Structure 1
């Protein structure tokens, strides 16, 4: 009886990890379905983004798919810069890592998109700007 009680926490941990893995796999499948046919797509812990047909769209991944928060036309884009996450309007430094946000300014409005990793955010913004420059 005592040996069975010792294995019970491991069984609970296994069930929880299996459930979390299944949820993440489902989240990724919903993102891949939403991003199909996009020129550029990104799935982050906070948000999903894509560049498709000259529009950048993003939103959180919910139980039924990506719930679009915003959509912006690339040809209206004025500024695209990475900002520090918690420091107000301070641009992100080159050596910074951790959470940050992408600020897009277009048509007089400023939109902030959260990123969970600054290194990947820099790579994604570089790729985005290389593709957007062709469309501007």
Structure 2
């Protein structure tokens, strides 16, 4: 009896980890279909972003589907800034790592796209500016 009680927490942890793995796999499969035919896309803990046909769309995974949060036309992109995620209007230094956001400015509109990794955000900055220059 005592051995059974010792294994019960391990069984519960196994079931929990299996359920979390299934949810992550489902999220990734939904992302693949959502981002199909994209020129540039990302999925991280902050959300998903996709560049398709000159439109950058940012979404969050909510209630088993991707809910679109905002959209930005790359042709109208004037400025891309790397900003700290939580400290207001503070720009991120080149050595900084961790969570951040890209601020896209153009045509009188500002859009913030959150990122879990500052290095990935820097790569996106370069690629978005290249796309904006190509579309001009």
* Structure 1 and Structure 2 fold alike (TM over 0.5): yes
Aligned length: 136
CA distance in 2, matches of 1:107, 1:77: 7
Unaligned runs of 5+ in 1: none
Q: Is 1:85 paired with 2:93?
A: no
Q: Is the contact made by 2:57 and 2:68 (CA closer than 8 Å) also made in structure 1?
A: yes
CA distance in 1, matches of 2:56, 2:76: 11
Which residue is 1:2 aligned to? 2
Q: Is the contact made by 1:83 and 1:92 (CA closer than 8 Å) also made in structure 2?
A: yes
Unaligned runs of 5+ in 2: none
Q: Is the contact made by 2:83 and 2:92 (CA closer than 8 Å) also made in structure 1?
A: yes
| Cα shift readout 1:10-57 (whole Å, capped 9, x = no counterpart) | 111111111111001000111100100011111121111011101111
Kindly state the Cα deviation for residue 68 of structure 1 after the two structures are TM-superposed.
Answer: 1.0
CA distance in 1, matches of 2:42, 2:133: 19
TM-score normalised by the chain length of structure 1: 0.92
Kindly state the Cα deviation for residue 130 of structure 1 after the two structures are TM-superposed.
Answer: 2.6
Kindly state the Cα deviation for residue 64 of structure 1 after the two structures are TM-superposed.
Answer: 4.3
- Cα-Cα RMSD: 1.3
Structure 1, 96-105 or 121-130: larger mean CA deviation: 121-130
Q: Is 1:75 paired with 2:80?
A: no
